[in-house]
Amino acid sequence: MELPFYLRTLPPEALEIIRFYRMSGVTIALSQAITDGTGLSDRGFGKGIRRLVTKGYLVLDGDQRYRLTDFGRRAVDEFVDDGSPQVEDTEIAVESRAVERRLVLVLPKHFVAEQAVNVYAGFLDADSSHATDDPLNLLLRLSVVNGEPATARESPFLLDSQAVRQAFEVTPGHFTRARVRVQVYQPGDDLDDTRFAGGMYVDVDVLPPGSAAEPDYTAYGTDIQLIATG
């Protein structure tokens, strides 16, 4: 049996780490245990772990502990181990293509100053020409001008071809208007190789504190381009 295609796009160092999780049967492991179990050099471990984190197979749980995501557990379950080393001098060439997705920001028509409320950011379903076989690893950043969070709040997630959304709590300040900004980034193979994919912002009127206003939500959207492999 051959490796599934989505695993064959990984560098060999990453495959050695996947093999480690399969052989050890653990879902969380310290970086030192992974290095010892795979025999990878520090450089090889760094290359493999970066790819697995940016592609959504692993998350860093703190203190150098790496935990398998649901996607990572699927990869471990489907990993075909013939006993031969995965690390070689060459890597598989992978074709990439641009896919277009509709980014949507859903928020109330009016805010009330100092009153926290949820807004939602996400994507609509992909049409058939822009569907992807494997999930895309994305980083969504949301910030508010004249409110909180003033510093961008980040939410990593995997985007498949289905609709998805993420809730963010925002609190407008004592202003007549607040601006909600959402930006989408697509991490590359290395942690410093992150691509800005697009974004949008919406200005919302802010009512005085204590105003009675039930949230009446409105959706805004824009198309952004992402890079898919395969």
Spatial separation of the C-alpha atoms in residues 132 and 140, rounded to whole Å? 19
* Within a domain: 45: yes
Q: What percent of the chain has pLDDT over 90?
A: 50
* Within a domain: 83: no
pLDDT for res 177: 96
The string of pLDDT tens digits covering residues 29-87 is 999 999 999 989 888 898 899 889 888 899 988 778 899 998 899 999 988 765 554 44
CATH number at residue 145: 2.60.40.10
Are residues 104 and 143 located together in one domain of the fold? yes
Are residues 215 and 101 located together in one domain of the fold? yes
Task: Classify burial at 119, counting beta carbons within 10 Å of its beta carbon; exposed 0-12, middle 13-18, buried 19 or more.
Answer: buried
The string of pLDDT tens digits covering residues 120-150 is 999 999 988 888 878 888 889 999 999 999 8
Write out the E strands in 57-132.
58-60, 65-68, 96-108, 110-112, 117-123
Are residues 149 and 49 located together in one domain of the fold? no
Using the predicted structure, report yes or no on whether residue 93 has a pLDDT greater than 50.
no
More confident residue, 3 or 152: 152
Are residues 27 and 108 located together in one domain of the fold? no
More confident residue, 185 or 96: 185
Report helix, strand or coil for 22.
helix
pLDDT for res 193: 61
**Single pTM value for the model:** 0.60
Enclosing domain of residue 49: 5-78
* Within a domain: 85: no
Mean pLDDT of the chain: 86
Give the end of a domain, one of 50, 78, 106.
78
Are residues 39 and 109 located together in one domain of the fold? no
Residues linked to residue 156 through DSSP beta bridges, in sequence order: 139
The string of pLDDT tens digits covering residues 177-193 is 999 999 998 876 554 56
Q: Select the highest-mean-pLDDT range: 87-91, 127-131, 162-166.
A: 162-166
* Within a domain: 203: yes
Q: How far is CA 97 from CA 6, 33, 112, 185, in A?
A: 15, 36, 43, 16
Report helix, strand or coil for 59.
strand
Are residues 113 and 47 located together in one domain of the fold? no
pLDDT for res 125: 94
